[in-house]
């Protein structure tokens, strides 16, 4: 049996050397770019959250299990990797023991003859085979040739995936052959439990040679698989747990990441700041976390299948956004890692200097500017890839270095610069809505009034846009009825900076945010209620990056609490069928799903029906990511797609909780009415409007 041990160990040394060389290459490539110390710091300071994420997402496969049956299949295949490590310990132990004693009957000390372990090994191997069959079925059913872009595998490397399924299959059948042959020869360490191996042992002839060849085949397939894994998308087996570890918690949603230069938060006051270093312009500007995202993508296409841009025929696929960068990085890797490019020819230099975004770039501008920052991709990604971070960093470079962005958005930028709101209206108009109320609203005069509990952050839309003003007045009235003392900033309030930041204009965001934080801090604000989910998200999740930390709630959270406490009592029935649209920055970005629904459930007479895509799978209205301020020229309009979906529920009313969603859905509904595709009475309202109607009994 000596020859078996020699062949087995030589194969192992060779395969580990090849795989190790590749791992070293991947490490070096990932670390060519700027550092990301904040990611390590974050993992350290959020160790408990990160440990929980490993348990829930990696070992528990929480995200994948939402996608039954592929999630169940993946669960078993992944656990097979862990449990069958014990079979490899036995296999290596057997070839070594066989070489020494002539009998390959090694068992793991203490637990190695325990029937439960034998059962677990056989069970998980059978479950893995079943998982492979499910994967094959899913791939055949979702064949891109058949389904075109509606297949989530469209654009993925299909050959590699089939090869990996084939290799895992080979590992499992050789496992059973080796264990069956061992059982036939009396070398299997289990006398019970290993139900398949023992049954095979009864069927197979006694043959030492068969056992030796089967052992080598089993080890050999695993080693070939190892080499394939580190050279393919299946690298995620090793990188996904790392990517989960270094991702933000609870996920890469909520606040946008701070812009950094050389790992430090950007300081626009710094005279030495190199303006060419803002954002990401070339692949070499990618941090190791970005590379970890590239290495972790399994090409499963779950992100793509949920993306509103992709689903309305735009060129943006979040999956391809990651894969195109990854493929380009591999293409230029030798040059990127070279100490010097002094003697490189001009083609090499051109490849290295290839812009990340551009007509001739790695990513087409139409791809970059199609994103609504809705977060559907990040929410679904089973390996916690943070697509929005990539998009924002590329936008930052385009906007601040190249001055290249959709021209329509330029008007919004100018208005923010000059007037502090995207519409360019006078700041004095910000308090006009107050005059339409029949009670007093306190306006902050430098300091918050002593008796005011909340600062009501009205937002630009809430103060200046006619439809959103109705929500503002409803919320103010409800707070007044409930006896909640609040004040507003009035003309002192400026845009939070969300549209500027999501466009990539970090400088302008910083300016507006600092101005607001100064106002809020000087006024002594502690608690804020906001009606706009974009304001809510920025105030709660982004202002702390700049020293503004407040307790921020969305109006639906506060109103739901007031209803629960009996301070607001909806009494007048509203006999309507309502479908609720989840605003992305309230739902996915901040996980506020239940409160708006709770409010509606308390209004007598209301019947609700969910749209097919709701809660964490809700479909964007098309306004996020500063898309509100850009023309939508490619494909079907996202708001039209959403209203088409709403119409399938035959609603009397569409409700939501965001001024931008109100505008986008309202526009699409009006278009449908004009075309005779929606009833004249159909309207879109904020849940606060429903509540005030029921509380006051107004018509
Ligand atoms: S954030 Fe939304 S629009 Fe942007 S890539 Fe992800 S799913 Fe698509
Ligand atoms: S980015 Fe995530 S969801 Fe999208 S294809 Fe890759 S692994 Fe799948």
Question: How would DSSP label each residue in 175-227?
Answer: HHHHHHHHHHTT--S-SSS-HHHHHHHHHSPP-HHHHHHHHHHHHHHHHHHHH
- Output the CA 304–ligand 1 centroid distance in Å: 8
User: Which range (79-83, 245-249, 317-321) has the least confidence?
Assistant: 245-249
Binding site membership of 308 for ligand 1 (Cβ less than 6 Å): yes
Compute the distance from residue 303 Cα to the ligand 1 centre, in Å. Answer: 8
CATH architecture of the region 413-564: 3-Layer(aba) Sandwich (3.40)
Which residues, at least 6 apart from 327, have a Cβ–Cβ distance to it below 8 Å? Answer: none
* Per-residue confidence (pLDDT) for residue 339, from 0 to 100: 66
The DSSP bridge pattern shows strands 527-530 and 486-488 to be unpaired
Q: What's the pLDDT score for residue 503?
A: 98
Distance CA 584, CA 373 (A): 9
Nearest ligand atom owner, CA of 390: 1
CB burial of residue 565 (10 Å; 0-12, 13-18, 19+)? exposed
Strands (E) located in 478-559: 486-488, 527-530, 551-554
Mean pLDDT in residue range 62-79? 92
Cα atoms found within 13 Å of the Cα of residue 351, Cβ hemisphere only: 16
Residue-wise pLDDT tens digits, 239-283? 999 999 999 888 889 999 999 999 999 999 999 999 899 999 999
Of 55-69, 317-331, 345-359, the poorest mean pLDDT is in 345-359
| 82 C-beta neighbours (distance < 10 Å), count | 10
- pLDDT surpassing 80 at residue 501: yes
**What pTM, to 2 d.p., does this model score?**
0.94
Report which DSSP code applies to 582: P
Residues pairing with 552 in the sheet:
528
Q: Under CATH, which number does the domain 577-696 receive?
A: 3.40.50
> Would you state the pLDDT for residue 699?
45
**How many C-beta atoms lie closer than 10 Å to residue 41's C-beta?**
10
For residue range 178-231, list pLDDT tens digits in order: 999 999 999 999 999 999 999 999 999 999 999 999 999 999 999 999 999 999
Distance in Å, CA 65 to ligand 2 centroid: 15
CB 165 within 8 A of CB 172: no
Instruction: Convert the pLDDT of each residue in 383-419 to its tens digit.
Output: 999 999 999 999 999 999 999 999 999 999 999 999 9
CATH assignment of 251-404?
A: 1.10.1060
**Do 281 and 85 contact (CB within 8 A), yes or no?**
no
Helix (H) or strand (E) holding 173: helix 158-184
- Spatial neighbors of 109 by CB under 8 A, at least 6 apart, are none
Q: What are the residues facing 264 on neighbouring strands?
A: 261
d(CA 251, CA 627): 23
3-state secondary structure of 590: coil
Sheet holding 577-580, edge to edge: 607-608, 577-580, 653-656, 683-686
pLDDT at 142 over 50: yes
How far CA 589 is from CA of 488, 537, 597, in Å, comes to 25, 8, 17
SS (H, E, C) 64-99: HHCCCCHHHHHHHHHHHHHHCHHHHHHHHHHHHHHH
Residues in a beta bridge with 671: none
Taking the CA of 244 as reference, the closest ligand is 2
Strand partners, 528: 455, 552
Residue 309 beta carbon below 6 angstroms from any ligand 1 atom:
yes
Q: What is the pLDDT of residue 347?
A: 79
User: How many whole angstroms separate alpha carbon 307 and alpha carbon 319?
Assistant: 10
CA-closest residue to ligand 2 atom 2 = 381
Average pLDDT, the chain: 95
User: Measured from the CA of 304, which atom of ligand 2 is nearest?
Assistant: 4
Q: Which ligand is nearest to the CA of 326?
A: 2
Tell me phi and psi for residue 653, to 5 degrees: -145, 145
The CA 114 to ligand 1 mean position distance, Å, reads 50
C-alpha to C-alpha distance for 328 and 290, rounded to whole angstroms: 13
Q: Which of 117-126, 338-347, 538-547, 633-642 has the lowest mean pLDDT?
A: 338-347
Phi, psi of 459 (to 5 degrees): 85, 160
How many Å lie between the centroid of ligand 1 and the Cα of residue 258?
A: 19
Question: Atom 3 in ligand 2: which residue has the minimum CA distance?
Answer: 381
Best mutation site among 251, 299, 307, 389 for ligand 2 pocket (most ligand atoms within 8 Å of CB): 299
**Which residues have C-beta within 8 Å of that of residue 212, sequence separation ≥ 6?**
1, 4, 98, 104
Using the mean position of ligand 1's atoms as its centre, give its distance from the Cα of residue 308 in Å: 7
pLDDT at 250: 82
Ligand 2 centre from 291 Cα, in Å?
A: 14
Least confident among 240-254, 526-540, 551-565: 240-254
CB contact at 8 A, 80 and 125: yes
Instruction: Work out the percent of the chain whose per-residue pLDDT is above 70.
Output: 99
The pLDDT of residue 612 is: 96
Rounded distance, CA 323 to CA 188, Å? Answer: 45
Q: Is the pLDDT of residue 597 over 70?
A: yes
**Distance, CA of 322 to CA of 317 (rounded, Å):** 9
- Check: CB of residue 211 under 8 Å from CB of residue 181: yes
CA distance 155 to 300: 10
Q: What percent of the chain has pLDDT over 90?
A: 93
Evaluate if residue 334 carries a pLDDT over 90: no
Is residue 208 within 8 A of residue 185, CB to CB? The reply is: yes
């Amino acid at each position: 049996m000596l020859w078996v041990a020699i062949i087995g160990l030589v194969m192992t040394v060779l395969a580990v050397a090849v795989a190790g060389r590749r791992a070293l290459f991947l490490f070096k490539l990932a670390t060519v770019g700027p550092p990301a110390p904040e990611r390590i710091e974050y993992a350290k300071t959020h160790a408990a959250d990160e440990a929980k994420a490993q348990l829930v997402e990696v070992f528990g496969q929480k995200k994948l299990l939402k996608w039954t049956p592929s999630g169940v299949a993946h669960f078993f295949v992944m656990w097979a990797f862990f449990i069958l490590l014990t079979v490899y310990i036995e296999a290596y132990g057997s070839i070594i023991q066989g070489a020494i004693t002539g009998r390959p009957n090694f068992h793991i000390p203490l637990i190695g003859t325990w029937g439960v372990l034998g059962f677990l090994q056989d069970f998980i191997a059978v479950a893995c085979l079943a998982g492979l069959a499910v994967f094959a079925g899913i791939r055949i059913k979702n064949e891109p040739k058949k389904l075109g872009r509606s297949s989530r595998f469209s654009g993925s490397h299909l050959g590699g995936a089939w090869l990996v399924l084939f290799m895992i299959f080979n590992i499992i059948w050789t496992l059973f052959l080796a264990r069956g042959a061992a059982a036939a020869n009396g070398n299997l360490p289990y006398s019970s439990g290993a139900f398949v191996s023992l049954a095979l042992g009864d069927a197979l002839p006694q043959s030492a040679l068969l056992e030796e060849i089967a052992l080598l085949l089993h080890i050999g397939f695993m080693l070939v698989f190892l080499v394939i894994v580190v050279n393919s998308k299946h690298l995620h087996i090793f990188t996904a747990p790392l990517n989960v570890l270094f991702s933000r918690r609870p996920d890469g949603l909520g606040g946008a990441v701070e812009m950094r230069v050389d790992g430090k938060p950007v300081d626009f006051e710094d005279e030495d700041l190199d303006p060419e270093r803002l954002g990401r312009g070339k692949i070499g500007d990618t941090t190791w976390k970005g590379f970890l995202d590239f290495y972790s993508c399994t090409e499963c296409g779950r992100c793509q299948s949920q993306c509103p841009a992709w689903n309305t025929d735009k060129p943006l696929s979040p999956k391809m956004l990651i894969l195109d960068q990854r493929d380009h990085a591999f293409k230029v890797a030798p040059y990127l890692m070279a100490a010097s490019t002094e003697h490189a020819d001009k083609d090499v230099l051109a490849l290295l200097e290839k812009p990340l975004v551009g007509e001739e770039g790695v990513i087409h501008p139409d791809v970059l500017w199609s994103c609504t920052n809705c977060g559907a991709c990040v929410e679904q990604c089973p390996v916690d890839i943070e697509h929005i971070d990539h998009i924002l960093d590329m936008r930052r470079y385009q906007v601040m270095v190249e001055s290249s962005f959709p021209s329509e958005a330029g008007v919004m930028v100018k208005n923010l610069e000059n007037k502090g709101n995207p519409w360019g209206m006078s700041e004095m108009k910000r308090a006009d809505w107050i005059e339409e109320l029949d009670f007093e609203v306190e306006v902050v005069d430098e300091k918050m009034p002593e008796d005011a509990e909340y600062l009501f952050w009205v937002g630009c839309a809430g103060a200046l846009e006619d439809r959103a003003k109705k929500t503002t007045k409803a919320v103010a009235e409800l707070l007044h009825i409930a006896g909640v003392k609040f004040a507003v900033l009035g003309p002192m309030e400026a845009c939070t900076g969300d549209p500027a930041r999501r466009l990539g204009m970090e400088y302008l965001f910083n300016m507006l945010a600092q101005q607001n934080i100064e106002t809020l801090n000087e006024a002594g604000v502690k608690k804020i209620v906001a009606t706009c989910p974009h304001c809510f998200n920025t105030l709660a999740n982004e202002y702390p990056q700049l020293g503004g930390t407040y307790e921020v709630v969305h109006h639906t959270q506060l109103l739901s609490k007031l209803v629960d406490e009996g301070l607001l009592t909806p009494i007048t029935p509203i006999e309507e069928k309502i479908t609720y649209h989840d605003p992305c920055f309230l739902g996915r970005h901040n996980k506020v799903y239940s409160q708006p629904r709770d409010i509606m459930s308390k209004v007598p007479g209301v019947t609700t029906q969910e749209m097919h895509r709701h809660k964490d799978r809700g479909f964007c209205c098309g306004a996020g990511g500063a898309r509100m301020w850009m023309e939508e020229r490619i494909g079907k309009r996202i708001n039209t797609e959403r209203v088409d979906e709403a119409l399938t529920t035959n609603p009397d009313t569409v409700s939501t909780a965001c001024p931008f969603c109100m505008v986008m859905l309202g526009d699409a509904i009006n278009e449908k009415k004009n075309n005779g595709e929606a009833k004249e009475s159909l309207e879109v309202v904020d849940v606060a409007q429903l509540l005030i109607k029921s509380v006051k009994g107004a018509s």
